[in-house]
A = this chain, B = another copy of it.
Amino acid sequence: MDAEFHLDVALIHHPVVNRNGEIIGSAVTNLDLHDIARAGKTYGVSTYWVVTPYPLQQELAAGIVGHWTEGYGGRVNSDRAAALAIISICASLEEVVDEMTRRYGRSPKIVATSAGGERCGITYAELRRELVDERIPVLLLFGTAWGLAPAVMELADAVLPPIQGPSAFNHLSVRSAASIILDRLLGCREEADQL
């Protein structure tokens, strides 16, 4: 069933912004790898790209992933191995797009996520339709720290609407946001509502 659509997600560690809107690079976070890989595996994501230009951070991420896919962690927890096996580590968004273009025979639709409510231009239902019915390969971008830098937002073909609950508070972790967005796009909600 995973082959019915082609969805990749990328977690960007540079360039992102800090609380003051300045361009920074953020550190890789262990649970960003685990939680988003587990959600990605649940919702049929093909590859979860961990994007950082820093070689030592790439090594750190590769060490964590290796522990769970080839090392001791994976031997005692095969579910975790299956989840973290969807992770690929790379240096830039350009690399991700090039590799997806090679794999899928066309450049992916790049869809950014943001808590800010910039120009949106696509709904969850529309993106689900493009992904599942039209089989358009899609790359979903998530930012660490205080979010994707403007230069990354400009590369996106569309931006999903921010996640809103009944309160005005919108400071979800990127782990929560990624999980919710994948569920809005690909969750089997109908079944759950028709017991």
A residues bordering B, Cβ < 8 Å? 1-2, 4-5, 19, 31, 34-35, 38-39, 41-44, 77, 79-80, 82-83, 120-125, 160-161, 163-167, 169-173, 175-177, 179-180, 182-184, 186-189, 191-195
23 A–B contact pairs at CB < 8 A?
A: A1-B166, A2-B166, A19-B77, A31-B31, A35-B175, A42-B170, A44-B167, A79-B171, A80-B171, A83-B169, A83-B171, A123-B192, A124-B189, A160-B192, A161-B192, A161-B195, A163-B183, A164-B187, A164-B188, A164-B191, A165-B183, A175-B176, A184-B187
**Which residues of B sit under 8 angstroms from A82, Cβ to Cβ?**
169
Q: Is the CB of A41 within 8 A of B183?
A: no
The copy count of this chain in the complex is 2
Q: Give A60 to B150 CA distance when docked, in angstroms.
A: 39
Q: Which residues of B contact A175 (CB under 8 A)?
A: 31, 35, 173, 175-176, 179
